[in-house]
Structure 1
Amino acid sequence: MHRPSDTDHREEATMTGHILITGAAGKTGGYAAKTLLNQGHHVRALVRRADERSERLAAVGAEIVVADLLDLDAVVKAADGIDAVYLAYPIAPRLIEASAILLQAAEENNVAAIVNMSQISARRDAVSNAARQHWIAERVLDHFTGAVVHLRPTFFAEWLTSFFDAATGQLRLPFEQARHAPIAAEDQGRVIAALVTDPTPYAGKILKLHGPVELNHQQIADAMTRTLGRPVTYVPISLDEFGRDLRKRGYDEHFVQHLLAVAVDYRNGIFAGTNDTVETITGRPPLTVEAFTERHF
């Protein structure tokens, strides 16, 4: 099978619009798919199951494919005729295998680019099993002969919706007074859409994604208070209490081990910082905590 040259890749990536979005029912994948559809691209949305989320994507023009990222034949079929792929895998075992399968499927179908969702905590010596696996998955995908871009976001702003207790007005989290700049999934979706349609300027790069303002969780609670017009309180808790809370929510041990480890990373400044990457790539600044709160609470 003919393998396009680097020039061929560049032309395909900027001129064509057949995009495979994996994890399309998830937060970043869903926003990326909708952005691309609004821009007139053909989106093939790979989902693990058909449900109301996939129905909503189909209603706005996405081609829905129900498949498992661990099924090589299904992924190869899903990548047929595709120019670029967004790879998103949940915090779950077998990430490295899924990444290798996606890589093989992309190679067999002459895909021009892969945009990979990683983590800001991804590194060789990470204590989190999931974060270390993301680092290895990045190195696996680096063998792709097309363009590869790795995204490493800080904590999503969606953490606030997941861990805010509306009944008590509390955010109970084990982050002490460390800081980060929350990044909304919709801003990441716009970045992903821009990169899968024109990855060339960022090919081979690791991009950290941050929101516009670095805050600790007391400051985040204060911003939510101002926006909502009712008290929101940050309650620092221990790692042990956080672990108990996660298990009560029904999360599996792989997920719990990851969140406990990255909570320590957070305290140590791994998630800190801000930059202008979102605005540089998309032409629009990312949402502030106040703007995110207005939209989602």
Structure 2
Amino acid sequence: MKNKILVTGGTGNTGGHVIKNLLDKDIPVRALVRKIDDRSAALSALGVEIVEGDLTDLDSVSAAMKDIQSAFFVYTIREPGILDATAYFAQAAFENQVEAIVNLSQFGANRNVKSHAAQNHWIAERIFDRAPVPVTHLRPTLFAEWFMYQAMIIKSESKYYLPFGDAKFAPIATEDIGRVAAAVLANPGSHAGQRYDLFGPKILGMAEIAEIFTEVLGRSVSYVPIDTETFVGILKKFMNANPYFIQHVTSLGQDLKDGREAGMNNLVEELTGEKPLAMADYIHKNKIAFA
């Protein structure tokens, strides 16, 4: 009987949390990684089977699916290629009689959204929906990890710079997304065909988040709203961002201002039995990065 679960993105934040939670449930895991390195070696040391391959290569994805019960799909928001990868993943799952797929999409995925990456996530959902393998879509709002992009600036200047105006959203930590994904992968039957919008525990404005940073770090931290052009310069300087990612982030800024990312529910707690991590707790757990 097949009981192993395939996890993509295992050396990243979300995939790593999916793997941790599956291992905590004593479920065997295979991780598909782009390259063998220290991060994959760390997973191997935990008992994870490592397979090297590329989501944009059908043969390597199909090989990774052999004898797999269910599979977690995540594709980086920083690079194009998600539509090819989605089609290959769905086909490989069908060829190998995989029983269920959990797809990490995003709350902002929409037919008419300005971001090409968010629109591609919406199209990817439709590709999976038309595939013969049952799928569950996880659609989180913006990650709490967004503030990690400016951790060095927060540490050195006690400020963070974003073109989001006074946008409000409920930041969700990747560890909570990982717990949800693992719960669905472990028992996918009742979740087949569902779309779960996932949020953190509280809707916060940019200034409110700065106040939380101030309280946790014990020094004044402020939010500096900036224009899109200035933000693009920051992305290029600190993240070496490519045009695809820049287009996504700058479009997302307008969506946030328009309220498209605002929302709340209790799904994380309902699906996992635990409340999602509060922003203060997230900052405290990662205090070394910001302090």
1:161·1:296 contact (CA, 8 Å) conserved in 2?
no
Local SS of the residue matching 1:50: coil
1:29 to 6, 12, 15: 15
2:107·2:141 contact (CA, 8 Å) conserved in 1?
yes
Name 1:112's counterpart in structure 2: 99
User: Do structure 1's residue 146 and structure 2's residue 137 form an aligned pair?
Assistant: no
User: Do structure 1's residue 284 and structure 2's residue 271 form an aligned pair?
Assistant: no
Local SS of the residue matching 1:116: strand
2:90·2:133 contact (CA, 8 Å) conserved in 1?
no
Residues in 2 aligned to 1:213 and 1:138: alpha-carbon distance in whole angstroms: 27
What is the 5 A alignment of 1:70-85?
70-85=56-71
Local SS of the residue matching 1:70: coil
- Return 5+ residue gaps in structure 1 as ranges: 1-11
Name 1:93's counterpart in structure 2: 80
Residues in 2 aligned to 1:73 and 1:100: alpha-carbon distance in whole angstroms: 12
Name 1:9's counterpart in structure 2: none
What is the 5 A alignment of 1:1-297?
17-91=3-77, 92-164=79-151, 165=153, 166-249=155-238, 250-297=240-287
1:210·1:275 contact (CA, 8 Å) conserved in 2?
yes
Residues in 1 aligned to 2:64 and 2:38: alpha-carbon distance in whole angstroms: 21
Q: Which amino acid aligns with 2:51?
A: V
Query: Runs (4+) of structure 1 moved beyond 6 Å?
Result: none
Q: Which amino acid aligns with 2:215?
A: R
1:70·1:101 contact (CA, 8 Å) conserved in 2?
yes
- Return 5+ residue gaps in structure 2 as ranges: none
Q: Which amino acid aligns with 1:241?
A: T
Q: CA deviation at 1:56?
A: 1.4
Q: CA deviation at 1:145?
A: 2.2
Structure 1 residues 43-102: Cα deviation after superposition (integer angstroms, max 9, x where no partner): 001111122221111111111111000111111110000010100001211110000000
Residues in 2 aligned to 1:98 and 1:161: alpha-carbon distance in whole angstroms: 27
May I ask how many residue pairs the two structures share in their alignment? 283
Name 1:5's counterpart in structure 2: none
> When the two structures are superposed, what TM-score results if normalisation uses the length of structure 1?
0.93
Q: CA deviation at 1:201?
A: 2.3
Local SS of the residue matching 2:6: strand
Local SS of the residue matching 2:130: coil
Residues in 2 aligned to 1:97 and 1:77: alpha-carbon distance in whole angstroms: 17
2:172·2:276 contact (CA, 8 Å) conserved in 1?
yes
Residues in 2 aligned to 1:142 and 1:199: alpha-carbon distance in whole angstroms: 15
Q: CA deviation at 1:120?
A: 1.2
Q: CA deviation at 1:202?
A: 2.1
Q: CA deviation at 1:159?
A: 0.9
- 224-233 vs 78-87, which moves further: 224-233
Residues in 2 aligned to 1:228 and 1:274: alpha-carbon distance in whole angstroms: 27
> When the two structures are superposed, what TM-score results if normalisation uses the length of structure 2?
0.95
